[in-house]
A and B are shown apart, each in its own frame.
Chain A
Amino acid sequence: MRFRDHRVVGDILELAARYRDAGADELVFYDITASPDGRTVDRDWVARVARLLDIPFCVAGGIRSVADAEAVLGAGAEKISVNSPALADPELIDRLSERFGAQCVVVGIDSQTVADGATPRYEVYQNSGDPQRARGTRRATLDWIREVQGRGAGEIVLNCMASDGVRGGYDLAQLGAARAACGVPLVASGGAGAAEHFRDVFLGAHVDGALAASVFHDGTVAIPALKRFLAAAGIEVRP
């Protein structure tokens, strides 16, 4: 989502309030072009969101240093999420975790499925916010998941690129493999198209959270109905 001019920010504040009132458990704000454009997410914008929200929220976008993170957390975010900058400088995760604690430090991973052979491989992608500049890193996703935990990541958001935007369900095979390698909270991302997909990812891949954007933005899935559906399926959710 792009939020660089004030009109779009206004839309986002409205969306944030709507999700807060609908019972979202956490909001994540991605300034996905920040890293490819060499920017950091706008601090004033973070403060406006923080004033509005009484639920946790995480901010991602071009956070490359402890000082960048300090500005975003100081403006009221609970957590910061790093993705491309951590790939360029893995020790960034150590520094952030040491300064703010693991609970503040989310590592976002964009992972592509590479089908060369019988079993699929998963590879980490960088700058995936911009199709022109997105590129594979040759890092194996599961290795990176283990490494970032060792460096102090307190949460991992795994975006499975092959299922992202397709709305055919989360990538249960990849998320299941990630779960086995992940001792910190794991959040599934990419592929939600219906309430059943959320149920399946909680029951099938044992993730701690499920992230979705477009199905909520366009109203395909309503959060209160989704929560009732998940509760009826025996999954513990905050009403």
Chain B
Amino acid sequence: MTGVVIVDNGGGNVASVRYALERLGCRAQVSADPAVVAGAARVVLPGVGAAREAMRRLAAAGLDRLLPSLTQPVLGICLGMQLLAAASDEGATECLGILPGRAERLPGGPERPVPHMGWNQLEAPAATPLLAGLRPGDYAYFVHSYALPVGPATIATCHYGLPFSAAVSHRNFHGAQFHPERSGAVGARLLANFLALAGPAWS
């Protein structure tokens, strides 16, 4: 197992994730090839866009069955994190089923436009390796209309009308609802922590 692979699922943030890892000294490969993904030391599942389309693309590449079987550290970002769950209300989509629960639409309001777009504070980051060095109140950059409710895999929350999962960890599967690649020093720390997780060496 070598290298870090970013799953190319046609989403918009593949390049920015790649550049963020590059800034940490990690040259990641972008691929949708199951053999390449399976052989990676670390897998990042980014995602900007709609759940149904993203699952369709993963299924077309044969990744919908591969991803849940992976044993190396996996990081889902934004929609990529939601895809780890059982389902999403967005387009009534069945997802990868790695985590329990389903992504629900954020409640909008006069003072709370949806998509939730912008910097918001992390609450109660757990003392886990993925969140080492992150503090309550740290700002991260969010862009999303759906979110995973707080559940057993939640390791940090955020509040937008209601509390939701800002980050999750379950076995070797991790997720950030915010965009670490666009969250300044806070995001860079999470990505560095992900690269430093126990598992096969990536370089």
Contact = CB atoms under 8 A, between A and B. Distances in A.
A108 interface: no
B188 A25 contact: no
A156 to B, nearest CB: 10
Interface residues of B, number: 33
A73 B17 CA distance: 12
Q: Is the interface of A mostly helix, strand, loop or mixed?
A: loop
Contacts of A101: 12, 48-50, 115, 145
Interface in A71-87: 73-76, 78
Interface stretch (B63-71, B153-161, B162-170, B175-183): B175-183
B145 A54 contact: no
Nearest to A23: B184
A78 B144 CA distance: 12
A138 interface: no
A103 B113 contact: no
B76 interface: no
8 contacts: A50-B16, A51-B23, A54-B183, A73-B15, A78-B179, A155-B117, A208-B117, A238-B139
Interface of A: 20, 25, 47, 50-51, 53-56, 73-76, 78, 100-104, 154-155, 183-185, 206, 208-209, 238-239
Given A75-B15, A101-B48, 18 more contacts: A25-B118, A47-B15, A51-B19, A54-B181, A54-B183, A55-B182, A56-B179, A74-B14, A76-B19, A78-B182, A100-B49, A101-B12, A101-B115, A101-B145, A102-B115, A183-B108, A206-B111, A208-B113
